[in-house]
Chains A and B, each alone.
Chain A
Amino acid sequence: MHDAPRILVVEDEYLIALDLDAALRTGGYRVIGPASNVSAALELLKAERPDAAILDVNLAGQWVTPVAEVLQAMSVPFILASGYVAADLQAEAALRDAVNIGKTWRPELLLEALRGLLKAA
């Protein structure tokens, strides 16, 4: 468990964050966060570099884009877990190419997407 990959979770809805946290732990990952807003996420990123990240897009009206940009600069791969559809994200260069597993993801697909990210990194 010591070298289990660390996943940063950014999600403003605490019950959904809890569910993500539980699914990731069950899948053998360590969780950083969950952070519920952009500044909390950026603070966590200053302290340590995660191996990957899962981001909600709309954090109580605030877009997660600044976090995605920092992750890109740190070469940390990330996926989105957002209710937004591709068209909503077109204007956001940092987000539009990321895999989006949606808000009601299937646990096996979440873990599969993460494995894909970590393998490619």
Chain B
Amino acid sequence: MNLEDLYRLLRSEHVQAQGIVDTLEEPLLVLDQAGSVLSANRGFYQTFRVRRDDTIGRSLFALGDGQWDIPELRRLLGEIIPRSAAVVGYEVEAEFPTIGRRSMLVSARRLVHPDNNSTSILILFEDVTERRISDAQKDVLLAETRHRMKNLLGIVRSLANQTDVEGRSAKEYRDAFLGRFQAVAEAETLALAGNAPADLGTLVEQALKSASPEQYRVVPGPAIRLRQPQIVPISLILHELVTNAWKYGAFSRPGGIVHLTWGIAEGDGKTVLHIDWREENGPPVTPPTRSGFGSRLIELSAVQGLRGKLERKYEPTGLRVHITAHME
């Protein structure tokens, strides 16, 4: 190998090394012993949107608006050469010119040049801004989930406490409680599905599962996306109406039919959901002499759960219930 070839080889290896360094997206700097920038890779220029002229030959601590001029970081870097220490993942959160607020991890190591034993410092930067944001979002989601879980247990306990016990067998109590529990569990499953917002049509379908298709006529209104706090109350209202229809209303007699429709009315800048439940061909209905927890549950779910209204009419043809709820 002659001298020519050696030069060529070294040059191409240098080019190759430069090429590797430049393909790294992570910003990278080489500092001399005094802390001045000897070289920077393309990733550095792109990430911080700075020019070569503003970078090479300047002190790391003078770059940008002086974001790296942190006493702790100065001390850590100062120890790298004398003590052969390394800095791993030192986090700097700062406002950078042109790129704004960022969280950066700074890692640094000593480099010893093989030819002349001179030392320099290699600095690697990692932009963890997105990761920090997504971590924070996960924390919020986790706190929310924890809150929901505890609420849910409270709701179930409340249903167990409030479900009537007077004049009932243990089995009757259990069936009544489990029916409500099931309505809440199904509503919660829908609410947690997350990817698709819970639709009123889906809740209606779920509530009417116990009846056969000839027992009801659903005239669906527009697709209604329910907000999370609306799902449990609507599910409970539908559950109570269906249960009552089996016990005293249209479902208790052959030929009895439930008509269910819904719609949206707009006015005064408000959007109101109307749900209409109408029973037909059932046994004659009269207002109950004493109201159990069931009718109170419907009422509370409409008024407090949905911040809406509920109207109950005992018409000669059967029970009619009209529910209104404010949508946002």
Contacts and interface: CB of A to CB of B under 8 A. Distances in A.
Nearest to B306: A14
B150 interface: yes
Contact of B154 (A15, A36, A84, A88): A15
Given A18-B162, A22-B162, A60-B229, A103 B151 contact: yes
In which size bucket is the chain A interface?
Answer: 10 to 19
Contacts of A15: 154-155, 158-159, 162, 232, 300, 305
Contacts of A19: 154, 157-158, 161-162
Interface in A1-23: 13-19, 22-23
A83 interface: yes
B124 to A, nearest CB: 35
B265 interface: no
Interface in A27-62: 36, 58, 60
Interface string B286-307: 0000000000000011001100
A18 B158 contact: yes
Contact of B150 (A17, A60, A83): A83
Contacts of A36: 304
18 contacts: A13-B151, A14-B301, A14-B305, A15-B155, A15-B232, A16-B155, A18-B158, A19-B161, A22-B162, A36-B304, A83-B146, A83-B147, A83-B149, A83-B150, A84-B147, A102-B150, A104-B153, A104-B157
Interface of B: 143, 146-147, 149-151, 153-155, 157-159, 161-162, 229, 232-233, 300-301, 304-305
Interface of A: 13-19, 22-23, 36, 58, 60, 83-84, 88, 102-104
